[in-house]
Structures are given as C-alpha cells and as structure tokens.
Amino acid sequence: MIFINSASINVYWYEKPWEPIEVTIGFKPVSGDWGTYAVYAWGEEEVYGAWPGTTLEPNQDGWYSFVVPTSRPVNLILNNKDGKQFDFLKDPTVSACYEFEIGDDNNNCVWTDVDCPDLSPDPALYIIGEEFGAWDWTSEGVVTMTPVHSTPGHFWAIRYITAGKGFKWCAVRDWNGDFNSLGEDIGFYVQDGNAFVEESGLYMIYVDTENGKISVETAKVYGMGDCFGSWDVATYPFTIDGTTMSITTAASAELRMYAASDISPVGGDWWKMEFIFLADGKIIYRGAGDDQERITVDAGKKVTLDFNAGTGTIE
C-alpha cells in the first residue's frame, strides 16, 4: 500500500500559537489496495484510541473520511492494522482531501491534494456486544449491518447469538447515540442497558429505524433460481445446523441466495437482501449496490454458510 515520504508533504508544525478547530480529512486510494484502513493519532492524546486506531469505512464512491478533533498537536498515521503504515499529516488546520497512487514499496507513492467530493458517510448501523467485538469499537468483531436495497433506514445481519450475552446498536463506531431499543422489540429483551436473547441460536437481526422496530428472529435464508429448481420466492430454505446453514443444489446454474425477515418489506423483491460468495469463500452482501458477480455450482452440491465467520463453502 502507501508509505509517504514525509518530505513530499507540504504540511509543517506551526511555530506560532493558533486556535485548533475540528477539520475533516478525506482520502481515496486510486491504485493498489490495503483492504483495511485505520487512522491513529499521536500527540496530545490518542484521539482515535490505542494503536492501530479506528477502522474506517468507505462511502459508495470509495472515499474514506475522519474528523480531526481540537485536541492538538496530533500526528496522523494511516495503517492497515497489519504492519503497513505511513505518517499522513501533522496538525492539519483546514479540511482537505487527497488521492493516493499506491507504490510497490515504501517510497514510490503519489500523494495528490484534490477538491473534496461529498464525503457524507453512507447510512450505516453497527452491532457491538460481548460476542461482537467484546465492547471495543475498534475490534474487527463489531458487526457492520447490511442496508436493505432501496429501503432507507432498514438494515439486517445474520449472526449466532448466545443467550445471556449482551449487545446493542449504533449508527457510528463509537459510544455516541448507541441504543438497545427503538420502541418495538421483537424476539429479544432489554436488561441493564443491553439487548439479550432468551435462547442461543442463529438469528436474523433486522432493524427498521424508519418505523422504530427491531426484530431478532430465527434466521431465514433461501436459494433462488435454476440452481434450486425455480424462481419462486421462499421455496428453497436453507437448514440451520448449530452456527451454520446449508442447502443442496438441484441443477448446475448460477448460485443465488437471499435472506428474509418477518418484518422485511421486500416481499417478492428478494434481491433487496441478496448476497453471494465467490471462489475465495467470502460472503459479499449486495446491500444498496448493483447486481453482483456470481459463480456457477454443479448439481448435488452442499452449500454451507457461516455468517459469523463471513464465509461460504461448496462441497
């Protein structure tokens, strides 16, 4: 990924006192890919938490952004949480955006100051809990919920939840606006400020922020299309076995799958909660995006999904 030669960055410490203000920094990798991006700050305080800092999520246009608070001075470091890092900025005084061309080593990188696009984050919702990040917002275990296509304010995720293990939700990866209920609770209870399920199991967690509903119900996933026999909705259910779900294909065709919820508004528009996995086995959710690439599976193959691990297999 990118390491920046600090001499090429025309940002310096200020010798005269100045009044720090909050600024927003945006960046977009335009070549190469670290996969994961996090921001860390050292200086007056660790404003993004202990190393490696806060994981950043891109918007639909591939831009990452973060707010630099008034706690100054700070040195900003971008990293991939796995050993790759570079000093980014020292005490920025104004909001700014940058594009990166990622070099093959630590020196051959191009860092370009550009006009800022719309950096508004895409609507998001996260689940944190004892089993989902151990109450640490910087953890990879925090669940990023999937938006329901063309249905603003609706999000879903499937996870195995253990009875007695608390969890809650927030629209940002921070203790700022977190909640355990929106008013109508279905399939879970609230105690001591957290949400719980009565019995351990594999659940569909569906949040409807538009109407103030949260449902935690037994997970439902269906196969769809020629791979299973027809394009009839809710006809080819996956079977739950502990922490995983599986189904056997009926014909050689493209593998298509989707999730469902009792409070979901998608109806026959099953693709609004569609997902796939490719050769690497990683589950990829359609969310608010376009139609997805797919793989072909032979007849008589067992398709298994592990949502907690985020993987699918074909045997």
Answer for the pair 1, 34: CB distance below 8 angstroms, yes or no: yes
With a cut of 70, which residues of the chain have pLDDT below it?
1-18, 103-109
pLDDT at 1: 33
Q: From 123, 121, 148, select the one nearest 61 (Cα to Cα).
A: 121
Q: Compute the distance between CA of residue 145 and CA of residue 147 in angstroms, rounded to an integer.
A: 7
Q: Compute the distance between CA of residue 70 and CA of residue 262 in angstroms, rounded to an integer.
A: 45
pLDDT at 34: 80
pLDDT at 103: 64
pLDDT at 82: 83
Domains and CATH numbers, the chain: 6-114 (2.60.40), 126-218 (2.60.40.3620), 220-314 (2.60.40.3610)
pLDDT at 197: 98
Q: Compute the distance between CA of residue 268 and CA of residue 26 in angstroms, rounded to an integer.
A: 39
What DSSP state is assigned to residue 273?
Answer: G
Write down the residue that tokens 């690439």 correspond to: 293
pLDDT at 20: 82
Question: Tokens at residue 126, please?
Answer: 């996260």
Extended strands (E) in 71-121? 74-79, 85-90, 96-101, 110-114
Q: Compute the distance between CA of residue 36 and CA of residue 55 in angstroms, rounded to an integer.
A: 7
pLDDT at 105: 58
